Amino acid sequence: MTVAVVTGANSGIGRQTAVDLAAKGWTVFGTMRSLEKGEKLAAKAAAAGVEVTPVVCDVTDTESVNAAIAEVEAVAGGIDVLVNNAGVGGNGVVEETPLEDYLSVFDVNVVGVVRCIQAALPGMRERGSGTIVNVSSIAGRIAALAQSPYVASKWALEGLSEGFAQEVAAFGIRVVIIEPGVVRTAIMAKNVDAPDSSGAYETAYRRLFAFYAAGLETPGLPTEVADVIHEAATTDEPKLRWTCGWGGPELSGNRSSFTDEEWVALGAIEDDAEYLARFSELFNLDIT
């Protein structure tokens, strides 16, 4: 019996992943900051005819993380798969983003992942097996416009994961990076704020929201991401990075086909129509 812990299981990708893995016969524990936040998870699990055990865990609190992992290990005897899904967004250009925004986003998206890894890894290492899935974003490969704190955190997570994969390879532990593009989740509906305090970056924010508007016309679905997570954790042909969702394959696959100078020049285009056309040309992705 595969035992999995999915962080941030009270909504979006985490909730769908927890339920879908349980439907595949896994024993699944879904974490959330308080049990009151688990009503939708419980309802979704019940509708699917499966059980997901809720566990209180605040990934920004080391004691909370350690207690949650210890609770699961005591009940289940060990953890086979840890899905580090809990995350937050963060819009803003560098000049206008308050420093505390960077700190709070990193505390969840990077340090929160480290807390969970440090709590669960000793047990996996002792058994000589396990899989740790870090849910990143296509923004961890492409510096999405006007999302500086989010992009920075996901690039950090990618680097952390890549180095970590080598660190634990000798112990029989697999590390997986999931890079969704645009996926229909509640976080997308919440991600509509932008500082725009100076008024100088109105074009950057406008283009940011235009990109997501294009993606949300035909977005990826949480079920797609959940399927990729399951495949990545169970495949006999493991690989480090897995991309899914609207725009994911195009953005990741095409970035290496043009130069850094061409990427920078994209930002200097003043006309929106010309910008959108050039973006589509570079990435083979229609956002017009």
Evaluate whether 147 touches 208 at the Cβ level (below 8 Å).
Answer: yes
The residue annotated as part of the active site, out of 150, 201, 205, 275, is: 150
Report how far residue 134's alpha carbon sits from residue 228's, in angstroms, rounded to the nearest whole number.
12
Is 102 a residue of the active site?
Answer: no
Read off φ and ψ for residue 111, nearest 5 degrees. Answer: -65, -35
Q: Which helix (H) or strand (E) holds 239?
A: none
Evaluate whether 81 touches 5 at the Cβ level (below 8 Å).
Answer: yes
The total number of residues shown for the chain amounts to 288
Dihedral, CA of residue 13, residue 110, residue 207 and residue 280, to nearest 10: -70
Report how far residue 50's alpha carbon sits from residue 71's, in angstroms, rounded to the nearest whole number.
21
Report how far residue 268's alpha carbon sits from residue 288's, in angstroms, rounded to the nearest whole number.
18
Evaluate whether 188 touches 216 at the Cβ level (below 8 Å).
Answer: yes
Q: Known catalytic residues?
A: 150
